[in-house]
Amino acid sequence: MSAKKGLHLTLKIWRQKNSKTKGQFETYKISDVSTDSSFLEMLDILNENLINEGKEPIAFDHDCREGICGMCSLYINGRAHGPDTGITTCQLHMRMFKDGETIVIEPWRSAAFPVIKDLMVDRSAFDRVMAAGGFISVNTSGNTLDANAIPVPKEDADKAMDAAACIGCGACVATCKNGSAMLFVGAKVSQFALLPQGRVEAKRRVLNMVKAMDEEGFGNCSNTGACEVECPKGISLENIARMNREYMAAMVDQG
C-alpha cells in the first residue's frame, strides 16, 4: 500500500519589516505537506525550512491553536481565516487546498491594525476600546447580591452568551470594506446590555466605547454583512443594531 501523497504548494506571503517600511509579496515553494496538518503547522514547516537555509523565518501570530484566542488571524486567498467557515486560522486544515495550488497569505488590512512584522498586526486598538467601557463595576463592600438571585430571562441570557463568544480576532474589521469594528463593539456592548448587572453603567459604557472606536480610526458600518459571514464565532449583526439603539438612547438621555 502506497503512502498518502502530500501537497506541493506555492505560497505568496506578505513580508514587511515593520509598520514604517514598505512590504511586498515573496514566493515560496513547499512540498509534501500532509492534508491532515493544520495551516499553522504548514507555516511551521516552512519556517523550519527557511531557518535550515539560513533565511529569516516568517513572523505570524499564534497562541492557543484551539480556536479560542483569535491571535492566529490571517487573510488567506482573499478571505479572513481562509476558505472554511466558522473557524479561526489555527483550525483550518490543509485538506481544504488542492495539490499544486497557489495560496496568498496576508496580514489584516486596516489602518487601525498597523503591521508589526510580516503577518503580525497590532490589535491593541481593541484593548483600548475594551478599556473604555467593556467591563462592569461591582460593589464588593459586603452588600453584594448573589448573581443567582437576579432573575434573567433565558432568551436574554442566551443572546448575552452568544455576544460574549466574540474572541476579538478582528476578522470583522479585516473583512469590512470600511474597516469597521462595529460588530466587535456591538458584541461587547450587547453582552452587558442584555444583563441586569450591565444596566447600571449601560449609557456611559456605550458612549465611551463608541467614542474610543472612532478615535482609533475604525470605519463606519455600511450594512454589507461581510463581518457576520466571516466571523469565526458567528456573531450576529443584531448586536450592531442593539449597540445603535443603546447609543441613541444614551445620547437622548445626555441631552
Into how many domains does the chain fold?
2
- The residue among 114, 132, 153 that closes a domain is 114
In terms of phi and psi (left: phi > 0; alpha: psi -120 to 50; beta: otherwise), the region of 41 is alpha
Same-domain check for residues 37 and 103: yes
Same-domain check for residues 184 and 203: yes
Kindly report the CATH number assigned to the domain that includes residue 238.
Answer: 1.10.1060.10
Q: Are 119 and 112 in contact (CB under 8 A)?
A: no
Same-domain check for residues 14 and 80: yes
Kindly report the CATH number assigned to the domain that includes residue 25.
Answer: 3.10.20.30
Same-domain check for residues 126 and 238: yes
Give the pLDDT confidence score for residue 166 in this predicted structure. 97
Same-domain check for residues 188 and 234: yes
Same-domain check for residues 243 and 175: yes
Residues in CB range of 118: below 8 A, 6 or more apart = 13, 14, 15, 16, 58, 59, 60, 107
Our measurement of the distance from residue 14's CA atom to the centroid of its chain's CA atoms, rounded to an integer in Å, reads 19
Same-domain check for residues 207 and 130: yes
Same-domain check for residues 37 and 55: yes
Same-domain check for residues 110 and 215: no
Same-domain check for residues 133 and 189: yes
Nearest 10 degrees: Cα torsion 15, 178, 207, 73: -30
- The residue among 114, 131, 165 that closes a domain is 114
First to last CA, the chain: 77
The grid coordinates of residue 18 equal 515593520
Same-domain check for residues 132 and 187: yes
Tens digits of pLDDT across the chain (255 residues)? 445 789 999 999 999 999 899 999 999 999 999 999 999 999 999 999 999 999 999 999 999 999 999 999 999 999 999 999 999 999 999 999 999 999 999 999 999 999 999 999 999 999 999 999 999 887 777 777 777 788 899 999 999 999 999 999 999 999 999 999 999 999 999 999 999 989 999 999 999 999 999 999 999 998 899 999 999 999 999 999 999 999 999 999 886
Q: What is the pTM of this model?
A: 0.92
Range of the domain at 30: 5-114
- The residue among 92, 114, 136 that closes a domain is 114
Give the pLDDT confidence score for residue 145 in this predicted structure. 72
- The SS3 of residue 30 is strand
Same-domain check for residues 95 and 139: no
